[in-house]
Amino acid sequence: MDEQQLVSGCKRAEAWAYKTIYEQYAPVMLSICMRYVGDRETARDLMHDGFIRVFTKVAQYRGAGSFEGWMKRIFVTTALEYLRTKEANKLTVPLEEYEQVTEDVSPDVIQRLTADELMNCIAMLPKGYRTVFNLFAIEGYSHKEIAELLDIQESTSKTQFFRARNHLQKIITQLFIPDDAGRK
C-alpha cells in the first residue's frame, strides 16, 4: 500500500488506515520522542499524543513533501511543547555548569560506535543541550528555526549546539577511551 492511499484513508477516517500508519511509523516516532525526553514512558505518552495530532490534522497535509516528514515535524513539536511546559526542564544550561572540553575524540572511536551507543550518549546530554543538538544535527533545523521554536536567541542556539557537541565529545571520551590510552 502506498503512502497516498494511507493518507487518503486517514482523511476518510478509516480505521485500517490509522492502524497501518501507526504500525508502520510508531518505532520511528517513538525514537524521535525518546531523543527529546530520554524517558521511555514519557516518550510513549508523547508518541500517542503525536499520533492523535497527526490523525486530527491529516486534512491539513497537502502532499508537499513526504508524509513521514510532515509527521516528524508534528512529533518534534509535540516533544518541544512538552519540554516547554516542564518548569524544571530549562532548555538552556547555565555557563557555570559548562566545562570546556579540550580533548579530541579520535575518528576511530566515533567510527566504532554503533548507532545505539551514539543515541545513548546523546541521551546523557543535559536537556537543553540535547534538545538543540537533536534539532540541529539530527532533524536538520537551522539555528534561526530552532530559536523560533524554542523562543530563544539564535546565538543561544548556536552556543547550546557548540556546548552540546563538546559535552558529547567528553561523554564519548569517558565511555569509550580507556583511562591509560593516549593520556599524559
pLDDT tens sequence across 66-112: 899 999 999 999 999 898 887 444 554 444 444 444 345 555 555 66
Residue type present at position 94 = P
Give the per-residue pLDDT at 89: 44
φ, ψ dihedrals at 177, nearest 5°: -120, 120
The tally of CA atoms less than 13 A away on the side-chain side of residue 35 is 26
pLDDT of 30 strictly over 70: yes
CA distance 83 to 22: 23
pTM check: above 0.75: no
pLDDT of 21 strictly over 70: yes
Give the per-residue pLDDT at 108: 57
* CA pseudo-torsion sign 172, 178, 182, 184: positive
Give the per-residue pLDDT at 121: 86
